């Protein structure tokens, strides 16, 4: 199978591309060429790389045709963020691809209303990212039903893994939160720390894509979550990390409205965004239709990133 992965050197592609090669796919990765995979092995020498600036080519109206000209059987799009970009690519690939897989986000749901949230829950997204991703999903699934376009959508949660910073128990990306937990120092959490996060290891996200490719007939026209089998509260996450560091969890709690006036804006807004969504998504559909079950729990996924931060001196312990 000739397989094109758009944005294949990022979080998901780091795990997806080598496994496609191992399965015998002829893989071409499209990227801006500004970074290498988070970790590499011998399989990457068998990958064809095409350097391309998607934003510039979308503006010029040439990106879709560039992808179509690669004559792929499968196209995996990991970096599409607007409905217009998705539309241009889908129209260019119509009738020319056997399977098109798009990377969405659990943010399409908006706030969790009934948990665990299933894929067929009503969409109530907020914020530009979630709204745009929901619009992409709606367009692609409509195109699948109306025109037979062979699309599958995978919605990851909070992606974790070695090489980057996972969202912390305060709901933002401040490394100081990890350092305080590592030292047994005080850590402030929003409200009562009972909002939830839905981490997932990047390898499990890749696994959902692979399972969808393997189960093409049942995957086409469907959306699937890609999260750990469990969500975790901010408080539970903090306690688990403190235990891992061998320290007590000395937690304090403040209303999010108060924190938004005292924390740096970037941290406060990230925390508000995460707790306003407070996701807790189901993996039952992936198990039922794709026979896929995550390998990593929520805490295990998060710890894979935290341990890398410690080992590489990013967190002072």
Q: What is the CATH number of the domain that holds 203?
A: 3.40.50.720
User: Domain for residue 284, yes or no?
Assistant: no
Is 90 exceeded by the pLDDT of residue 178? Answer: yes
User: Domain for residue 55, yes or no?
Assistant: yes
Contact 158, 200 (CB under 8 A): yes
Contact 166, 306 (CB under 8 A): yes
Residues 83 and 127 in one domain: yes
Residues 66 and 215 in one domain: yes
Separation CA 235–CA 242 (nearest Å): 11
Name every residue whose Cβ is closer than 8 Å to that of residue 32 and which is 6 or more positions away in sequence: 51, 52, 53, 54
Domain range holding 244? 162-197+231-278+297-311
Residues 180 and 208 in one domain: no
Residues 175 and 113 in one domain: no
Q: What percent of the chain has pLDDT over 70?
A: 100
User: Domain for residue 119, yes or no?
Assistant: yes
Q: pLDDT-derived band of residue 35, with 50, 70 and 90 as boundaries?
A: confident
Domain count for the chain, please give it: 2
Residues 220 and 264 in one domain: no
Separation CA 309–CA 39 (nearest Å): 14
Separation CA 153–CA 45 (nearest Å): 28
Q: pLDDT-derived band of residue 166, with 50, 70 and 90 as boundaries?
A: very high
Tell how strand 196-197 and strand 232-233 pair up. Answer: antiparallel
Separation CA 69–CA 214 (nearest Å): 24
Structure confidence at residue 79 (pLDDT): 96
Neighbours of 185 (CB within 10 A): 12
* Helix 175-183 with 234-245: angle, nearest 10 deg: 50
Mean pLDDT of 196-222: 98
Residues 58 and 104 in one domain: yes
Residues 52 and 17 in one domain: yes
**pTM for the full predicted model:** 0.97
Separation CA 119–CA 289 (nearest Å): 13
Look at 130 and 41; give whichever has higher pLDDT: 130
Separation CA 280–CA 157 (nearest Å): 9
Separation CA 52–CA 33 (nearest Å): 8
Separation CA 166–CA 200 (nearest Å): 10
Residues 97 and 154 in one domain: yes
Indicate the helix (H) or strand (E) that contains 82: none
- DSSP per residue, 40-69: --GGGGG-EEEE--HHHHHHHT-HHHHHHT
Residues 16 and 61 in one domain: yes
- DSSP per residue, 188-240: EEETTS--EE-EEEHHHHHHHHHHHHHTHHHHTTEEEEE--SS-EEHHHHHHH
Structure confidence at residue 195 (pLDDT): 98
Residues 151 and 184 in one domain: no
Residues 82 and 167 in one domain: no
Residues 121 and 189 in one domain: no
User: Domain for residue 317, yes or no?
Assistant: no
Is 80 exceeded by the pLDDT of residue 73? Answer: yes
Per-residue pLDDT tens digits for 230-267: 999 999 999 999 999 999 999 999 999 999 999 999 99
Structure confidence at residue 212 (pLDDT): 98
User: Domain for residue 316, yes or no?
Assistant: no
Mean pLDDT of 196-203: 98
Separation CA 61–CA 85 (nearest Å): 9
User: Domain for residue 292, yes or no?
Assistant: no
Mean pLDDT of 61-81: 97
Structure confidence at residue 38 (pLDDT): 84
User: Domain for residue 249, yes or no?
Assistant: yes
Is 80 exceeded by the pLDDT of residue 34? Answer: no
Sign of the torsion angle spanned by Cα atoms 238, 242, 243, 247: negative
Structure confidence at residue 314 (pLDDT): 95
User: Domain for residue 286, yes or no?
Assistant: no
Name every residue whose Cβ is closer than 8 Å to that of residue 77 and which is 6 or more positions away in sequence: 6, 7, 86, 89, 100, 101, 102, 103
Structure confidence at residue 12 (pLDDT): 97
Separation CA 247–CA 239 (nearest Å): 9
Per-residue pLDDT tens digits for 147-162: 999 999 999 999 999 9
Mean pLDDT of 95-107: 98
Structure confidence at residue 316 (pLDDT): 87
Nearest C-alpha neighbor of 77 from the set 62, 95, 96, 63: 63
Of 226, 244, 270, the domain-final residue: 226
């Amino acid at each position: 199978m000739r397989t094109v992965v758009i944005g294949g050197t990022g979080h998901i592609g780091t795990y997806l591309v080598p496994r496609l090669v191992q399965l015998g796919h002829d893989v071409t990765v499209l990227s801006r060429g500004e970074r290498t995979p988070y970790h590499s092995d011998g399989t990457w020498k068998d990958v064809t790389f095409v350097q391309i600036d998607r934003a510039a080519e979308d503006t010029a109206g040439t990106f879709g045709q560039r992808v179509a000209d690669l004559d792929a059987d499968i196209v995996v799009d990991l970096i599409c963020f607007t409905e217009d970009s998705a539309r241009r690519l889908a129209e260019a690939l119509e009738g020319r691809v056997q399977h098109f897989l798009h990377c969405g986000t659990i943010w399409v749901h908006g706030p969790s209303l009934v948990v665990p949230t299933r894929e067929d829950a009503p969409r109530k997204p907020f914020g530009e990212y979630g709204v745009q991703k929901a619009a992409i999903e709606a367009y692609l699934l409509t195109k699948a039903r109306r025109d037979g376009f062979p699309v599958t959508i995978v919605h990851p949660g909070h992606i974790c893994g070695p090489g980057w910073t996972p969202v912390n128990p305060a709901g933002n990306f401040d490394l100081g939160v990890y350092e305080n937990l590592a030292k047994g120092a005080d850590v402030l959490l929003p409200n009562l720390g009972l909002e939830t996060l839905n981490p997932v290891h990047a390898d499990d996200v890749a696994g959902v894509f692979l399972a969808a490719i393997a189960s093409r007939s049942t995957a086409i026209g469907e959306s699937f979550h890609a999260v750990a089998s469990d969500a975790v509260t901010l408080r539970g996450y903090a306690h688990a990390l403190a235990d891992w560091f061998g320290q007590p969890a000395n937690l304090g709690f403040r209303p999010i409205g108060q924190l938004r006036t005292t924390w740096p804006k970037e941290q406060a807004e990230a925390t508000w965004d995460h707790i306003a969504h407070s996701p807790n998504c189901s993996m039952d559909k992936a198990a039922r239709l794709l026979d896929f079950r995550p390998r990593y729990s929520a805490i295990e996924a998060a710890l894979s990133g935290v341990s890398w931060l410690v080992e590489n001196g990013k967190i002072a312990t």
